[in-house]
Amino acid sequence: MTIAKTPAPPYFAVIFTSTRTAEHAGYETMAAAMLRLAAAQPGFLGVESARDSLGITVSYWDSLEAIAAWKQNSAHLVAQDRGRALWYQDFKTRICRVERDYEFSRK
């Protein structure tokens, strides 16, 4: 996983923060499939993910319409149902407009 190479703002971000249940079966496979599927959607710009006690996945999109379409993707709807049924203790999803960004790279 690397820092997403997003274009100049404005663009949009979905911050998905979660805690997991003790049920791990099927999770990694589904998470990897959803990352691949998201990356193939129109308007997808990139994704960043990390987990220790908390999981944070931020996906970047070129429009709110692209985010809405991804939320309603049929395979993603199945994954969301399974997440609520099995894998997530709690989650919060925040839809954001990225107004400004800056970066640092070591030479």
Task: Select from 31, 55, 69, 79 the one that contacts a second copy (CB under 8 A).
Answer: 55
Structure tokens belonging to residue 59: 């996906």
Closest CB to a second copy among 40 and 99?
Answer: 99
Amino acid at 66: A
Task: Select from 32, 33, 77, 95 the one that contacts a second copy (CB under 8 A).
Answer: 95
Number of residues lying near a second copy (CB under 8 A): 43
Torsion sign, CA atoms 105, 13, 47, 57: positive
From residue 82, give the alpha-carbon distance in Å to each of 18, 39, 49, 57, 85: 14, 20, 20, 17, 5
Task: Select from 33, 39, 56, 75 the one that contacts a second copy (CB under 8 A).
Answer: 56
Nearest distance, CB of residue 24 and a second copy, angstroms:
15
